[in-house]
Amino acid sequence: MARAYASAVIPAPAEQVWELVREFNGLPDWHPAIASSEIESGRSAGEIGAVRLLGLPDGCGAIRERLVALDDTARSYTYDMIEGPFPIRTYRSTITVFPITATGQAFVEWFGDYDAEAAEESKLEQTFGGGVYAAGLKALVERFS
C-alpha cells in the first residue's frame, strides 16, 4: 500500500471549516478539480454507504466514491473510490479538520492509502497528494482568507 498526504492551516475556526468540508456531496462548492457531484444509491449525503458521482472539469471523466465513515465529533470522514480513471486496485481516503487552539484556526489533513503497481505509485502520489488533496486545501485557504 502507498500513501499520498497533504495538510494545511486554514485561517478559520475548525467548526466553520468542518461545516463546509463535511458535506459529502459538496466538493464542487470548494474543490477546483470537481465540476459536479451527485449522490446515487438512494441515500442521503451524510449516510454511511452513500455513493457520490463526481464529474471532472471539461467532461474529463467521473469518479464514484462511497462514504464508509463519518464522525462529527472528530470532524472526519473516510471514503473509498469504487470507480475512476486511475490505475489502482483499492483506494481509501480520509479528511480530518482539527482545531488549532492557540490561534483559533483549523489544521486539515487529507490522505489516501491505495494499492497500485509499484511503477505507478510515484505518479499517483503526485496526482492524489498534489492534484487532489493539496489543490483542495489550497482552495480552502483561499476561501477563508
Q: Tens of pLDDT along 117-136?
A: 999 999 999 999 998 999 99
Q: What is the CATH number of the domain that holds 45?
A: 3.30.530.20
**pLDDT tens for residues 82-111?**
999 999 999 999 999 999 999 999 999 999
Q: Which domain holds residue 109?
A: 2-144
Count how many domains the chain has. Answer: 1
Model pTM above 0.85: yes
User: Would you say 73 and 79 are in contact if contact means Cβ atoms under 8 Å apart?
Assistant: no
As a whole number of angstroms, the distance between CA 117 and CA 39 comes to: 30
Reported as a pLDDT band with limits 50, 70 and 90, residue 43 is: confident
CA distance 60 to 95: 24
